[in-house]
Structure 1
Amino acid sequence: MNDTQLKDLKKEVKKRRTFAIISHPDAGKTTITEQLLLFGGAIRQAGTVKAKKTGKFAKSDWMEIEKQRGISVTSSVMQFDYQDKRINILDTPGHEDFSEDTYRTLMAVDAAVMVVDSGKGIEEQTKKLFKVCRMRGIPIFTFMNKIDRDGREPLDLIEELEEVLEIDAYPMNWPMGSGKTLLGLYDVFHNRIEVLRPDSHNHGERFISLTDEGEIEGDHPYQNESLYNQVLEDALLLKEAGNEFSREAIAKGELTPVFFGSALTNFGVQTFLETFLQFAPEPTDQDTEDEKVVSPTDEDFSGFIFKIQANMDPKHRDRIAFLRICSGRFERGIDVTLSREGKKMRLSNSTQFMAENRESVSDAVAGDIIGLYDTGNFQIGDTIYSGKDKIEFKDLPQFTPELFVRVEAKNVMKQKSFHKGINQLVQEGAIQLYKSYHTEDYIIGAVGQLQFEVFEHRMKNEYNSEVVMTSIGSRIARWIDPKQLDENMGSSRNMLVRDRFDQPLFLFENTFAMRWFSDKYPDVELTSLL
């Protein structure tokens, strides 16, 4: 790479902004994603997941079961340009049963946008996802959604945010009323008022500029509104008693800028996007297993697979591996090494995403998310690189399942499609596969019940294989060193199985059964993947 090419690479990397949108189910995450895509010109209209009568569905929910149930169960990737920035949004599943997919996605982004329902505040799933962001130390931006409905007091929401999530908050704007009384947003950061319904009072303009003291200049009908005067008091209180704004604290994930707005009515979303782009980080360094650091502007190409998805296009029954580019420049036909096997391969078939729409990509840089057509070469967590020196990025988080079912094909004549479907869904990380130690019966594990329902639906619709599932119930999975294993240790209370890598483990009925086992075999070490 010559000096001109390196300079161009650095310029392109600086434009990238890659972030995930996280939330509790029904907080409005998919709706705000659509509004962002609308601003980027990526879609012409925003459908909502609830609008089933019109047949309009969220553009980021492409899987058939998502459209039927009105929820996101997979992570979608969307890319668009806005204000000279190349934006990669990863819309994650809100449902807790699919948190494993979300956790892996959070490893592939440089920032997170947390959507909170202003009527409900901080909910359980939000806490879990937030902890992952804190663990990674990535910047977190908060969007308090649904202020067009009657909700909780803004001060209560900010206090709860700080107390429950243990992070400092800085309100970038403040709602003037809520629900039917909503007049607009008092924009603390930009020192202006964003008007909900521009009219003759301000010549149809969206914004009213404020004086240095934060008040409306001259005569204006708002000055007689009690809501406006209340907001002035709140704003003064925040400036005196609230946290100081700090770009450095945001970058470290110690301070979250808070934006109020309504994704459904598209109020406050554009201000959020434009302000977010000022402070969201460009692609950052990535750590490797041997404690080296890979810079986004390193000349050699590298990246890791954080997600695999089969049958995104039902017509072609394809399989896509999602790659986060960590360094260098991707060009179609590039020769790379698969770190896990030391295997050489050429990446000649790749794609960029706009939810269900895709287009071939010939050029991408660090920070971008691209899809590689996969014939079974890749696994989640794989590193690929183009240089001579081996690179192995750190492992992605794995989660021990808590629910287990035996599974078999309903029609024994369709064993081939049954095995193909299970193997592909396991490689995706949609479920985890185990086999009974002696009889080789299939047992699948999941974090939540909805995963089984999606598994059953996809096996039938994508692989033409109906399945019969028999619940084993909730179990505690613990691995054992094969050298310490005696096959007679297994019983009905601690079922002996193998994982997909043929490693032995026990599925304990409950904590009492696990303690009983440990008392009986005190020298045997049991380990969890957590």
Structure 2
Amino acid sequence: MQAHTHQQEKLHHTLNLGILAHVDAGKTSLTERLLHSAGVIDEIGSVDAGSTQTDSLALERQRGITIKSAVVSFAIDDVTVNLIDTPGHPDFIAEVERVLSVLDGAVLVVSAVEGVQAQTRVLMRTLRRLGIPTLVFVNKVDRRSADPERVLAELARRLTPAVIPMGTVHAPGAHAARYIPYAADDPRFTARLAEVLAERDDELLSAYVEGDAAVLTPGGLRAALADQTRRAQVHPVFFGSAMTGTGLSALTDAVKELLPAAAGAADGPVAGTVFKVERGPSGEKVAYARLFSGTVRVRDRVALPGLDGKVTAVSVFERGAAVRRDAVTAGRIAKLWGLHRVRIGDVLGDPRHVPERHTAAHHFAPPTLETVVAPRCAADRGALHAALTQLAEQDPLIDLRQDPLRQEISVSLYGEVQKEVIEATLADEFGIGVDFRESTTLCVERVVGTGAHVEFIDTDPNPFLATVGLRVDPAPAGTGVEFRLGVELGAMPYAFFKAVEETVKETLAQGLHGWEVSDCVVTMTHSGYWPRQSHAHAVFDKSMSSTAGDFRQLTPLVLMDALRRAGTRVHEPMHRFRLTAPADVFGTLLPALGRLRAVPHAPTAEGSVYIIDGVIPAARVHGLEQALPGLTRGEGELESAFDHYAPVTGTPPARPRTDHNPLDRKEYVQRVTRRTRVG
């Protein structure tokens, strides 16, 4: 039986395909149509009716939006496609981020009516940065106001000029709209194809300039198109309708022909990544993992960061369903049971065999909002923390924080819709009613100079049996926190160095103003300890011996003193916006933007409307959304997405601390030593 399974793996290719889009572009409907065309389902589900395959959560069916990523499988001839439907709403971008780490290729869905939207640009920018081969599908060509040619021009102008239309649409905007693929020898098509491909291929460029027809054959151009698409250099564009099915056969043919199959040796070392964790009916953890190398069998022990786990069951995806199997091989996506301590983002097995782009930590901006969650019934406080801890397993970016002094629980958010979903989930799945405070903006602190501090063992005012010296330096934006050793690694036990490194990163979650400190280098400049001491009868004497706890307790004091000397500046998140409004209201719109601290660029006139691009503080986006209908007679349209962090002018906002406050030495030492004595 095992040999038969391996033989099947050799005969069939696997492609892990993501469907991505701005909300309401029709990607879930497209997924349904693809499954129906492949014979996986007999009837196409409806998003509005809540009967789709991938939107299985009750909340998804009620709202008609995708909240959690879902995996389904279908076959295109000898290619098994594991299709991952992802959320389109920007509040659930964290789900998309995790899926990107397992994809071989993607289909970016764009509406032929709304065209390129804010989330479309965010997604394509990320797909291109990660080098994920991507096809574009312009959906809803049968809808009133559909304009495929306008959208094609938007794709080239606002996403990338490396788009190649593979056909045209007859009667767009009508139910009878039909996709008509270009013939392989259509001279206008081959000329456009040769022009785009030649920009990225010197041999083709030479043939194009010299008019060498022997090289620029339809077959040669198609082969070059496949090669450049698989290398994410160009993006073929298809048109169609998920509702009527037109254009779907051309898209499925392109998925098979133009996107790369999953690579990896089944007999290699085990290596994979976990992109989703859910709880089974009995509360057990179920990990969704993409395997890049090797084979994982039931009862295998699999290495995880800092621990290992025994796999008790395996399911792989076949013809729309997860099917129990004895093993999963390289290239496949599987559900794994038995890994009780697994977390999203964990690498299974040997990380050296996971391609670099599949291990990147963050592709999108972090959440920019925070709110306090309070149970309506005080007796539910403990249950609420347990429930939110479980939700944080499935979405680590909600960044659960508990203030022990105020007994408050905070979570990070991308938007107000996410808040509503958390509230409904807590009520439906855990039976806990909650209220939220008004959302506040999440800022960050950035180091502005260099600062250093050292405290020596057995020297006042240091009450701990450890010597720790740290220097803090600024680092470029987006590089995160880096810990370096400026002392010999053999100067003391490795566990003590590890305790300092881990505590540095934990402590920087709250800087001088209470915000997370990002983008800095922390160097350990001094170290020292007292070796293990015993009395005559070999009884360990803690009062004379250093432990990792001494280093964990001293490090926050040293780090905060170094940080004070370096100085930090609070930065707030800024959104890039695009506002479309009637030209005659432009004069009243500009002062309103100024009051919201928005910085608009010069407007662009398009007929009777103005298009205004600019940046606005994230904290003011909601206010602009609320004011826009009144300012524009209900005709204004706003798109916005996170763009960057900018220094706060004036008095920097502070965030209440939830730690033992190492900025106040007396208070900190009292709390830490009291906790140590109690422990």
**TM-score normalized by the length of structure 2:** 0.59
Hey, what does 2:83 align to over in structure 1? 89
2:411 corresponds to which residue? Answer: 444
Distance in 2 between the 1:355 and 1:25 partners?
Answer: 26
Write the distance in 2 (CA, Å) between the matches of 1:475 and 1:118.
35
Is the 8 Å Cα contact of residues 411 and 466 (structure 1) preserved in structure 2?
A: yes
Kept in 2, the 8 Å contact 1:47–1:58? The answer is yes
CA distance in 2, matches of 1:384, 1:476: 34
What is the letter of the counterpart of residue 116 of structure 2?
I
- Unaligned stretches of 5+ residues in structure 2: 199-220, 454-502, 516-562, 574-643, 645-679
Equivalent residues of 2:146, 2:173 under 8 A apart: no
Matched, 1:299 2:263: no
Match of residue 21 from structure 1: 19
Asked whether the equivalents of residues 335 and 386 of structure 1 are also in contact (C-alpha less than 8 Å), the reply is no
Distance 1:445 1:354, change over 3 A: farther
Q: Hey, what's the Cα distance between the residues in 1 that align with 2:231 and 2:87?
A: 25
What are the superposed Cα offsets for residues 209-258 of structure 1, whole Å, 9 maximum, x if unpaired? xxx568xxxxxxxxxxxxxxxxxxx7588568766652222112121111
1:126 alignment partner, one of 115, 120, 142: 120
2:240 is aligned with 1:247 = no
Aligned positions, number: 449
* Aligned residue runs from structure 1 range 446-465, under 5 A: 446-465=413-432
Q: Provide the rounded CA distance (Å) in 1 between the counterparts of 2:570 and 2:327.
A: 43
**Which deviates more, 108-117 or 79-88?**
79-88
1:504 alignment partner, one of 509, 512, 517:
509
State the match for 1:39 in structure 2.
37
Pair 79,169 (structure 1): closer, same or farther in 2 beyond 3 Å: same
**Is the 2:35–2:320 contact (alpha carbons within 8 Å) kept by the matching residues of 1?**
no
* TM-superposition CA deviations, 1:98-127 (whole Å, max 9, x none): 111101211110111001101121111011
Counterpart AA for 1:126: T
Cα deviation, residue 408, structure 1:
2.4
- Distance, in Å, in 1 between the alignment partners of 2:324 and 2:506 is 34
Q: Would the alpha carbon gap of residues 452 and 11 (structure 1) be closer, same or farther in structure 2, given more than 3 Å must change?
A: same
Question: What's the counterpart of residue 322 of structure 1?
Answer: 288
The equivalent of 1:197 in structure 2 is none
Instruction: Give the C-alpha shift of residue 369 in structure 1.
Output: 1.4
Q: 2:70 matched to 1:76?
A: yes
Q: Whose RCO is larger (CA < 8 A, sep 6+)?
A: 1
Q: Deviations over 1:159-201 (max 9, x none)?
A: 2212211241111221122133846332115x5xxxxxxxxxx
Q: Which residue of 2 aligns with 1:11?
A: 10
**1:514-525 equivalence runs, <5 A:** 521=564, 523-525=566-568
Q: Bigger shift: 439-448 or 372-381?
A: 372-381
1:374 shift after superposition: 5.5
Whole-angstrom distance in 2 between the partners of 1:455 and 1:235:
49
SS at match of 2:422: helix
> Residues 22 and 115 of structure 1 are in contact (CA less than 8 Å); yes or no, is this contact kept in structure 2?
yes
Question: How far off its partner does 1:351 sit?
Answer: 2.5
Give the distance between the partners of 2:56 and 2:64, measured in 1 at CA.
11
Bigger Rg, structure 1 or 2: 2
Checking the alignment, whether the CA contact within 8 Å between 1:148 and 1:178 is kept in structure 2 is yes
Aligned partners of 2:51 and 2:513: how far apart in 1? Answer: 42
* Pair 1:428–1:7, CA change in 2 (3 A): closer
Q: What is the deviation of 1:359?
A: 3.0
User: What percentage of residue pairs aligned between the two structures are identical?
Assistant: 24
CA 17–355 in structure 1, closer or farther in 2 if over 3 Å, else same: closer
CA–CA distance in 2 between the matches of 1:348 and 1:174? 51
Is the CA contact (8 Å cut-off) linking 1:145 and 1:261 kept in structure 2?
yes
The alignment yields a C-alpha RMSD, in angstroms, of 3.9
- Counterpart of 2:385 in structure 1 is 419
Taking a change above 3 Å as real, the CA distance of residues 63 and 7 of structure 1, as seen in their structure-2 partners, is: closer
Please list, as runs of the form range in 1=range in 2, the aligned pairs for 1:170-181 lying within 5 A after superposition: 170-180=164-174
Alpha-carbon distance in 1 for matches of 2:152, 2:161:
10
Residues 6 and 361 of structure 1: is their aligned pair in 2 closer, same or farther, counting only changes over 3 Å? closer
1:66-465 alignment runs, 5 A limit: 66-180=60-174, 182=176, 184-188=178-182, 191=184, 238=192, 245=221, 246-284=225-263, 295-296=264-265, 299-310=268-279, 315-338=281-304, 340-341=305-306, 343-353=307-317, 358-373=322-337, 376-385=340-349, 394-397=359-362, 399-429=365-395, 431-436=398-403, 438-439=405-406, 441-465=408-432
Cα offset, 1:504, TM superposition: 3.4
The residue that corresponds to 2:649 in the other structure is none
The CA distance in 2 between the partners of 1:385 and 1:6, in whole Å, is 22
Q: In the TM superposition, what is the alpha-carbon distance from 1:395 to its structure 2 partner?
A: 4.3
Tell me whether 1:474 sits opposite 2:441 in the alignment. Answer: yes
User: What is the CA–CA distance in structure 2 between the aligned matches of 1:144 and 1:388, rounded to whole Å?
Assistant: 38
Secondary structure in 1 matching 2:336: strand
Change (3 A) 1:499 1:44: farther
CA distance in 2 between counterparts of 1:389 and 1:283 reads 14
How much does 1:505 deviate? 1.6
Q: Which residue type is aligned with residue 303 of structure 2?
A: T
Contact 2:82–2:317 (CA under 8 A) maintained in structure 1:
no
Q: What is the Cα deviation at residue 500 of structure 1?
A: 11
**Greater CA deviation, 368-377 or 253-262?**
368-377
